[in-house]
Structure 1
């Protein structure tokens, strides 16, 4: 009887009577013999073995897997240690060996497996793990999706002035020092003054994101008391974070009024009571209600709804627009309007339509801002020096009215003719580079496209755009090659074509994007002859 363990070649032949073929079907795959020359890492041929086509057992092959120390001594692996450090590479080495072991046991490797080839296979697997780690690093991405505030790509790209300010303040800086007096200063004092001046508010406060601003406001203003909110404004933001959950975390009690589609001023009036601490209005920045809908305006809530002293009117705008975009057909609330219409506190994000870094900004009446600033939670949600520096530089651009220096506004205000021109420059660059390399020129067309603002802003609104579309026989492979290269490129796939939307591609990125398209295609994924784009 054959043992599923260490196999002697002559025993296996003798027992099977036909070189092992008769009984191989009855042997589990994980223990089935494989072909090998019985040579390990410089080992002599195994006694009794007749050579290359000898049939051996699975355990013989498993013993030829390289040891961890042997793997770490390889030149390629040593280079990885210098790049990533010994600890991560040691983990990858163990995982690579384990992967190869599972492949052998599962019968997934070719029949002929010797020591040197196993070593090559394990080293290749280790490099794949290292490459996967490298791809996960934060890195530059060319956004060719047409989504301006792409949450997965970090929302608003920073203005050059903000990037310069980040560099200037990356070392020691006067974060909490008043240089004029030499005494301790207030963190973010200048950006708070700038934000108040910009929005017309009495004071301002900055925290690390708008969700933190909401949590801090609810806890500082209404912990243990009620906050009135229209049912149609009970929103969920990305990542399944829901407003009722924020209420529970803050300690404030939610008092819903009205229905999903219609809420009246009378609903608020009837809900008002001794436990009422605030009225909250939430802008539906990531979806819209249309049709048979109605709700009071902020001005009506401020001027027509009697509020006892100490009951705050809070407006959570989210998107953070501080310059009207009505000329572009974008109907999004403006922060200054909320301040003028009587909101005590107005909350919005720094990295959406404001065009700065991730931050939560609160502007409003000084008494309420002081209450938030002195709350213990403020210490947990405050910003670091780099966020404040980038936000300060961005706010300066808003105060000066230099909107074209802010990438989000520059992308929003681009004309169709400008986008058409950029598309033609891209197709020309791709053609020139492909011809220069002697490779095929992809079939390209310039197509009318639609861009989205994204990032929980102006839901449902699209902007006319232009895209360079490329026909590809293997669309997913081309998109993957673009995504995994340096710099990474994210595009849209539709039908059998790759769409590169020009609204989110900067002029300075056109040549680099052309190089990436040619290197990613290189005749492997592209189909057809030269297009006429």
Structure 2
């Protein structure tokens, strides 16, 4: 996947005058997701902050207790809401929330119902949560907004890649969400960005809000996002690095691992192969693994450190007394580079 060399940044090519910064990317987002409007900011937390500040300052936003998440770096949803000036109304219990809980919490002070994807943990057992369509219907009957913080940016069926089905951005919009917000750098496979898609009426106030300028993405993020969207719009999902990695078959990973192990053994490195479970990570598909194969080395902290500090850096996992080099995260054309890095690190540890 390659980005073009130039971007018409805030310049209207047709009129030759100043243009809208996000216009090219907004058009692609609306076309791909089938939505009225779209907006891009620096990251998904910024997207939520802007949405709340524009619509809910001094007003109430209803959220299930089971969805009050903490994301990486100890940033918590209630704290982001407080910074935006919104008043959090918690409903239900940690494990079970019903539509009646939301209905009971509605008041003249309610700005919106917010549904949040549990991006970095999974709940099982005695659990219950209303479906998106039911929440959308309740919100619209009450005349309040309905927003979904989808987080991961899931936009395709994940089952062909060996993962469980997740609600896509398109499905959430079809179920009645006024706004869906998500990251650009997770399952969308693009640069770090916060993306909001949905109804024009819901997103219009965000364009005029002072925070929008402070949270606007830079030109590098915009050109990378445009290039990513072009891949999807052209139907060539395999040009996106994430989906090329996900599409690697387990049998092929096993063959590559065996070939690499033989090459390393010939160079005096005690390498072997093991089946393993790769994790997509990044706040996307919690609790799910992907069948993979790894080259295994005897656990040696000095080797792991030498790999991390090498050029290029190589990050391995340490499991059950072994260092694992999971090939699910490595492109086939990088196998030679990986083998050379391991040989250097092992030679360094042996001296």
CA distance in structure 2 between the aligned counterparts of 1:297 and 1:254, rounded to whole angstroms:
21
Q: Is the 8 A contact 2:276 2:293 kept in 1?
A: yes
- Which residue in the other structure is 2:113 paired with? 279
Q: Is the 8 A contact 1:429 1:511 kept in 2?
A: no
> Which structure has the larger Rg?
1
TM-score, length of structure 1 as denominator length: 0.64
Higher strand share: 2
Q: Does 1:466 align with 2:324?
A: no
Deviation at 1:442, TM superposition (A): 1.5
* Uncovered stretches (5+) of structure 2, i.e. residues with no partner: none
- Which residue in the other structure is 2:10 paired with? 176
- Which residue in the other structure is 1:98 paired with? none
- Which residue in the other structure is 1:233 paired with? 67
CA distance in structure 2 between the aligned counterparts of 1:226 and 1:523, rounded to whole angstroms:
59
Q: Does 1:496 align with 2:321?
A: yes
- Which residue in the other structure is 1:453 paired with? 280
- Which residue in the other structure is 2:183 paired with? 349
* Uncovered stretches (5+) of structure 1, i.e. residues with no partner: 1-159, 435-440, 527-533
Q: Is the 8 A contact 2:113 2:139 kept in 1?
A: no
Q: Does 1:288 align with 2:115?
A: no
- Which residue in the other structure is 1:302 paired with? 136
Deviation at 1:412, TM superposition (A): 1.5
CA distance in structure 2 between the aligned counterparts of 1:319 and 1:207, rounded to whole angstroms:
15
Q: Is the 8 A contact 1:177 1:185 kept in 2?
A: yes
- Which residue in the other structure is 2:151 paired with? 318
| Deviation digits for residues 458-491 of structure 1 (CA, Å, limit 9, x no counterpart) | 100001100011225xx01111111111111111
Deviation at 1:305, TM superposition (A): 5.3
CA distance in structure 1 between the aligned counterparts of 2:254 and 2:40, rounded to whole angstroms:
39
After superposition, the Cα gap between the structure-2 partners of 1:214 and 1:180, relative to the gap in structure 1 and judged at 3 Å, is same
CA distance in structure 2 between the aligned counterparts of 1:458 and 1:510, rounded to whole angstroms:
27
- Which residue in the other structure is 1:224 paired with? 58
Deviation at 1:303, TM superposition (A): 2.3
TM-score, length of structure 2 as denominator length: 0.96
Q: RMSD across aligned C-alpha pairs, in angstroms? A: 1.5
Q: Is the 8 A contact 1:263 1:296 kept in 2?
A: yes
Deviation at 1:330, TM superposition (A): 2.0
- Which residue in the other structure is 1:205 paired with? 39
Structure 1 stretches of 4+ moved >6 Å = none
CA distance in structure 1 between the aligned counterparts of 2:315 and 2:349, rounded to whole angstroms:
19
- Which residue in the other structure is 1:4 paired with? none
Q: Is the 8 A contact 1:416 1:466 kept in 2?
A: yes
| Deviation digits for residues 88-129 of structure 1 (CA, Å, limit 9, x no counterpart) | xxxxxxxxxxxxxxxxxxxxxxxxxxxxxxxxxxxxxxxxxx
Q: Is the 8 A contact 1:286 1:456 kept in 2?
A: yes
| Deviation digits for residues 259-293 of structure 1 (CA, Å, limit 9, x no counterpart) | 11111111111111110111100010110111111
Aligned residues: 350
